[in-house]
Amino acid sequence: MGGNRDTNQNPNHHSTYDIGRQEARTINNADTINISYRDPGPVESAEQFLRLGETSLHQGLYDSAVAHLTKCVGLGLSDPSAAAHARFLLALATLRGKRPSLCTGAELTSVVSLLSPLLEPSARFLVALVEEDRTNAWMASSEVPVSLRLSARQVDRSHADLIRRHVPAPQSRVWQALNERAGGTTS
């Protein structure tokens, strides 16, 4: 390899080389040279992007959350539960803190396509909230049906809380049921 040749003949001379992502330190006249390098695997990287995306979402930094979570989902997570959680968070971040009726058609299509393959109750409820608010179906009645309240009990409380904090649609019956599930006040 050219360009990094050290011609100093001093036996105590140390040279450091940086070759892309690898770094090596050599000592003239050394009996042993140890070079350690660890390439993070895609699972570790996906998990790192998941953590970064989740942090960004909690801080309301939606563009950053979308970028990190898109990378996470693209790399894939080996744990199906973590992969579903990443898709759920990406769907929330895609709404960018807006109620669904104020989002673009492309944003809503993306949200629904992210959530459709998921079987988790939180994903199904977020799709229902998107559909109800997008079509203004909540205007037909202000009463939250008992069946909807009972179904909302299947949603994990932390996911219900994420939905109510990041999707401001308090007129929606689905939102009200999730708000109640998350421990919020009822109307």
pLDDT tens series, the chain, 187 aa? 444 444 555 555 555 544 445 455 555 666 666 666 666 554 468 999 999 999 999 999 999 999 999 999 999 999 999 999 999 999 999 999 999 999 999 999 999 999 999 999 999 999 999 988 987 755 566 677 677 777 888 999 999 999 999 999 999 889 999 999 998 765 4
Measure CA 88 to chain center.
Answer: 7
The verdict on pTM exceeding 0.75 is no
Sequence-distant (≥ 6) Cβ neighbours of residue 107 within 8 angstroms: 94, 95, 96
CB 186 within 8 A of CB 164: no
